[in-house]
Structure 1
Amino acid sequence: MKLLTLDTDYEYDFDLYGLVSPGKDYTIAWWLNKLFDLRLIKQKDICYTLAEREKLLIANYEFSTEHSVIRLFRNKALGACTARKPYLLPDLKEYDFVLQISGSLPKLYPHNFINTLLHIPLVQYVKQFDPLSLKFKENLIF
């Protein structure tokens, strides 16, 4: 019997930033709301079921307008997870949060945007990533 596979290409047309911070997700969301005049709102936690029947719960905040969507995720799973890789993006396990910006927001220069993010007292380091360079980029498709 011939086996058919579905080959799909997703568009990864968003900006992606990793944030290192010991802060809580709601505190980082509050600071982002304050600095960028957003309204990130806590959404239902994202649940991924892994092959070994483990579940990852990922904290999820979102702000959407007619033309753009901004999402803030906690990179490490919530609660006591025994999975080998308890991260939304295991490629970026050094980063505590992932900020995804898609749509037609007024484009800030990445350097200026990163400098503004570093004004958050709890943020220690920020780096922009190319989503296509990540091995687990499919975890960002919703």
Structure 2
Amino acid sequence: MMKIKLDVDKLLDDFFEDACLLGIVAPVKDYQFAWHINQTLGFNFILNHSIEIPLKKKGRDYYFSIYEYLVPGTSLAHYLYNNEDDGEYLLPEFKHLDFLWLTKGEMLSKTELQTLIQSLRLLPSVQLVTEMTNEKIKNKQHLIF
């Protein structure tokens, strides 16, 4: 029987090749946060159960919801991850973050990225928005759907 080895590093590199990741502190429910983003910033985030991240920790199953917004007429996609489920974290090294915002498909320009960060900071529930570098993320594989 032939064994096929999955090259996780290559998979991670490919997934994050054209990605940008933001960490957000906003102590509200994910659906409330997505609603505020949609209403205030003109996005159309929709909960996508098919890309939800399942993790098994300490013999229990945890599910981290992901909201998705595909920008019409482009290859740009925005993903809003919930970083916490029932006391467990998708990225345990960033327990202080409530949400992770990932853009993929097209790189945002520095100006577009700064505009997005500034817009998010203006939302009433947002306390912090920070750009995250891939090197700081220990559990990147948890973000792949």
Provide the TM-score with structure 2 as the length reference. 0.79
Contact 2:66/2:80 (<8 A) preserved: yes
Q: Partner of 1:20 in structure 2?
A: 25
Q: Partner of 1:62 in structure 2?
A: 68
In the alignment, which of 126, 130, 139 is matched to residue 136 of structure 1?
Answer: 139
Distance 2:41 2:22 in 1: 15
| Gapped regions of structure 2 (runs ≥ 5) | none
| Gapped regions of structure 1 (runs ≥ 5) | none
Q: Partner of 1:95 in structure 2?
A: 97
Residues 14 and 67 of structure 1: CA distance in aligned 2, closer, same or farther (over 3 Å): same
Contact 2:78/2:103 (<8 A) preserved: yes
* Cα-Cα RMSD: 2.4
In the alignment, which of 124, 129, 136 is matched to residue 126 of structure 1?
Answer: 129
Question: How many residues end up aligned between the 2 structures?
Answer: 134
Deviation of 1:4 (Å):
7.8
Deviation of 1:49 (Å):
3.7
More helix by share: 2
1:75 maps onto 2:83 in alignment: yes
Contact 2:19/2:106 (<8 A) preserved: no
Distance 1:37 1:105 in 2: 20
